[in-house]
């Protein structure tokens, strides 16, 4: 009873190989990498957005210095410098780290304004140095200020702007007793 079976005649299917591996869904490591890249873009975007006032003020001061070097009237240029510093102080520097609210900065005049500027970088260039010209220069008669003095003051203001932090660092406010609520028993 020895029967031989012809395997070629049997209704068998050929070997099926698995299909190629698809690219979707990605492995968990790729999801993690995508999340980290997205978080990095968000952090960079926030940092870039918060520095917009400083960049705008530095560009404006650069234009003023270039105008001074090209022969513009020093008094008019120093009026622009004063305006740039005040705008920058009102928009980005004032706050918890500056000790003043943004609406209090425009009220600073004379020695208070210079002390505020010096207090933002722990130097006395404004109250006891070249920066004192910032008080009288915007109100001086045309052609009454030397171009070199105006350039030096513009350079000092550029240094001050460059030394300012990109964002105002907020100090944590102390908790008030009235804001604390007792925990409820469950």
Closest CA to 152 of 131, 121, 124: 131
Q: Report residue 70 CA to chain centroid gap.
A: 31
Tokens coding 181:
């609520």
Instruction: Determine what percent of the chain is predicted with pLDDT higher than 70.
Output: 82
b/e map 117-134, b = 16+ CB within 10 Å: bbebeebebbbeeebebb
Q: Report residue 29 CA to chain centroid gap.
A: 32
Mean pLDDT of the chain: 83
Three-class SS string for 123-154? CCCCCCCHHHHHHHHHHCCCCCCCHHHHHHHH
By the 10 Å C-beta count (0-12 exposed, 13-18 middle, 19+ buried), 43 is classed as: exposed
What integer is the mean pLDDT of 135-164?
92
pLDDT tier at 29, thresholds 50, 70, 90: very high
Tell me: the pLDDT tens digits for 64-76? 999 999 999 999 9
Tell me: the pLDDT tens digits for 94-123? 554 555 666 678 788 899 999 989 988 888
What integer is the mean pLDDT of 148-172?
81
**Paired strand residues for 100:** 95
Long-range contact set of residues 11-14: C-beta below 8 Å, sequence gap at least 24: none
Count, residues in the chain: 186
95 three-class SS:
strand
Q: Does position 186 have pLDDT exceeding 80, yes or no?
A: no
What integer is the mean pLDDT of 50-55?
92
CA atoms of 166 and 164, how far apart (whole Å): 6
Instruction: Determine what percent of the chain is predicted with pLDDT higher than 90.
Output: 51
H/E segment holding residue 50: helix 28-50
- State how far the alpha carbon of 7 is from the alpha carbons of 4, 10, 12, 13, 104, in Å: 9, 5, 9, 12, 97
């Amino acid at each position: 009873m020895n029967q031989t079976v012809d395997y070629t005649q049997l209704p068998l299917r050929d070997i099926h190989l698995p299909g190629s591996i698809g690219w979707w869904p990605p492995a968990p490591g790729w999801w993690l990498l995508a999340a980290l890249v997205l978080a990095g873009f968000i952090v960079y975007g926030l940092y870039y957005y918060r520095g917009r006032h400083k960049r705008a003020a530095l560009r404006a001061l650069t234009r003023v210095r270039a105008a001074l070097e090209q022969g513009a009237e020093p008094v008019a240029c120093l009026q622009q410098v004063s305006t740039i510093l005040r705008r920058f102080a009102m928009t980005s520097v004032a706050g918890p780290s500056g000790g003043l609210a943004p609406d209090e900065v425009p009220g600073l005049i004379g020695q208070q304004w210079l002390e505020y500027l010096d207090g933002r970088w722990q130097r006395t260039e404004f109250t006891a140095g070249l920066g004192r010209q910032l008080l009288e220069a915007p109100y001086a008669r045309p052609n009454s200020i030397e171009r070199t003095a105006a350039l030096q003051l513009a350079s000092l203001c550029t240094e001050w702007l460059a030394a300012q932090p990109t964002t105002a660092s907020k100090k944590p406010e102390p908790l008030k007793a009235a804001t604390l609520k007792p925990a409820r028993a469950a």
